[in-house]
Amino acid sequence: MTSGALSVKDFLDKAKLVSYGFFGLLILFLILFFSSPYLLVSKADPKKSDAIVLETIETGKKDKFKQAATLWKKGLAPVIVILHSPPNQDSDLGIVGDPTASLQTYLISLGVDETKILVYTVEAGPQEFPKTLLKIALDRQWKTFLLIGKEYDSATLLKLYRNVLEPAGIYIAVSKVSEGIGSWDWFTKPKSLESILGRLSKHLYLILLGN
């Protein structure tokens, strides 16, 4: 055997290490893939709060408004705070004209007292919603919030808001709105697969950024 040549034993040992590394990464990927829905769903338990919070990016979604109204009528919070970014021409709520009045009108139609609806328009966009909520909390001396969010957005929303609110001693949880995506068969449907993997990428990106 010439000097520096790799023996059969050494070759097999190196091949084993490579294969162990490959299969280890493959197993890790499969675990992450199939557990995606569980990583994206908030585990924080909703409780009675100072305010229910609704994000209305452009105009909002009817299912979130209905859940907010239901929770308000059950007494989980005395008021509903709407964090609103300016709309475009599309409207899931059929908004025409002044969006603030229309958002209030839609909640009133669901049985919410008009005096218990507070709308804050955030011109800078939804990325400023957590900071706006912090200002509201400090102004009104509120300490607990219940945010309405889609089921598979809930963990990401919780991370974004807690990063801003927790240092001030403010608690927030997410009341999850069902999206009709099963945790066992989501990967068998192209639209569900694309949706979950897209949200997982955003969630992991936030973790890598330390948010």
Domain map (residue ranges) of the chain: 51-179
- The interaxial angle of helices 190-209 and 154-165, nearest 10 deg, is 20
Put residue 60 in one of left, alpha, beta given phi > 0 → left and psi -120 to 50 → alpha.
left
CA 56, chain centre distance (Å): 13
> Dihedral of the CA atoms 186, 54, 157, 184 (nearest 10)?
-20
One pLDDT digit (tens) per residue for the chain, 211 residues: 444 566 766 666 666 676 666 656 656 655 666 566 777 888 777 789 999 999 987 655 789 999 999 999 999 999 999 998 875 544 455 555 556 778 888 999 999 999 999 999 888 888 899 999 999 999 999 999 999 998 888 889 999 999 999 999 999 999 998 877 766 666 676 777 677 777 777 777 776 766 6
Give the pLDDT score at 38.
Answer: 73
Closest CA to 149 of 39, 55, 50, 35: 55
Helix or strand or coil: residue 7?
coil
* Residue 153 CB neighbour total at 10 angstroms: 21
Give the pLDDT score at 202.
Answer: 79
Predicted structure pTM score: 0.74
The class that CATH gives domain 51-179 is alpha beta
Q: Are 81 and 53 contacting, i.e. CB atoms less than 8 angstroms apart?
A: yes
Q: Give the up-direction half-sphere exposure of residue 205: CA atoms within 13 A in the CB hemisphere.
A: 6
* Residue 62 CB neighbour total at 10 angstroms: 13
Q: How many residues does this entry show for the chain?
A: 211
Give the pLDDT score at 1.
Answer: 45
